[in-house]
Amino acid sequence: MSVLDREVLALMRDVAERIIMPRHRALKATEIIEKADDDLVTIADREAEVALAEGLAKLHPEAAIVGEEAVHADPSVMDRLSGTCWIIDPIDGTANFASGSGHFGIMIALAEGGAAQAGWIYDPQRDRLCAAHLGQGATVDGEQVLARSSGANPPRLAAMTKFMAPDQRSRFETEILPHYTPVQAPGAACEQYPLTVLGEHDLAIYERTLPWDHAAGNLFLNEAGGTCLRLDGSPYRVDDGRRGMIGAANRALYDQLVARLAVAGYQPAT
């Protein structure tokens, strides 16, 4: 691991041990709030983001902070995404965390000029760190990793259909899914990206692509040798506000899904 990897990991572990894991399966009803329909936040999310922001500011004081909960409180925080910034998801998979079942984790990215330069995905239940640096490859717990397909025929596809518009979902389910082996999405990008890299899932299609959910994972999958791009083949930028993205274990799987989506007339919502 690089020095920065070790410093970020130490911070993530500390926040997980002090703030997140003591609340796992121990949250009071008053500590879970619905920010919007099907969008939860807990006291652990809010306290963890503050602690992570304070720690990251010490590691790179010149970088702005863009946290999921800070953006919810003040949408103008998104304006910082085009500069040098830390992007924080204090608990990715909050619904899983709040229910006491399923996967959740901390996701952090360091971006510059709208592109992620480094990303970290920490799973506190496994004590596992997935990390990537632009142009330097991807690692799991410090060991280099290369994306691989599952070998399943048809390929395994995870789809976050709940974020699709009704007509999109209907078209996707009738014209695309029959060509694949559908697999259950874990409800957390922090788990979906490793599943795609480590050969459990072959592809994932995303409709909503918020920077705190995808900056670190997009970089991790691409640096592992997979393909994670917009549906038109353009790279993901943290500051463009677009929707729609495909993550695939290799370019051939990505190209095949893009071609099928085009034939079906599937387009991301605007």
* End position of a domain, from candidates 121, 144, 167: 144
pTM to 2 decimal places? 0.96
Residue 270 lies in a domain: no
Quick check: is 269 in a domain? no
Residues 105 and 12 in one domain: yes
Long-range contact pairs involving 115-120 (C-beta distance under 8 Å, separation at least 24): 115/235, 115/237, 115/238, 116/87, 116/215, 116/216, 116/218, 116/219, 116/238, 118/4, 118/219, 119/215, 119/216, 119/217, 119/218, 119/219, 119/220, 120/5, 120/8, 120/9, 120/12, 120/216
Mean pLDDT, 10 residues at a time, the chain of 270 residues: 95 98 95 85 97 97 97 97 98 97 97 98 98 98 98 96 90 96 97 98 97 98 98 97 97 98 88
> What is the predicted pLDDT for the residue at 240?
95
In a domain, 197, yes or no: yes
**pLDDT of 60:** 95
**pLDDT at position 162, please?**
87
Do 66 and 162 share a domain, yes or no? no
Domain co-membership, 125 together with 169: no
**So what's the pLDDT on residue 194?**
98
In a domain, 199, yes or no: yes
Within-domain flag for 151: no
Domain shared by 10 and 133, yes or no = yes
Per-residue pLDDT at 153: 97
**DSSP strand pairing (115-123 vs 105-112):** antiparallel
Kindly report the CATH number assigned to the domain that includes residue 178: 3.40.190.80
Q: What is residue 35's predicted lDDT score, i.e. its pLDDT?
A: 84
Residues 7 and 139 in one domain: yes
164: containing domain: 156-264
Which of 82, 113, 144 is at the close of a domain?
A: 144
The reply to whether 66 and 170 lie within a common domain is no
Judge if the upstream peptide bond of residue 22 is cis by omega within 30 degrees of 0: no
Q: Would residue 150 count as lying in a domain?
A: no
When divided into structural domains, the chain yields a total of 2
83 with 185, same domain? no
Dihedral pair phi/psi, residue 80, rounded to 5°? -75, -10
- Let me know if residue 233 belongs to a domain: yes
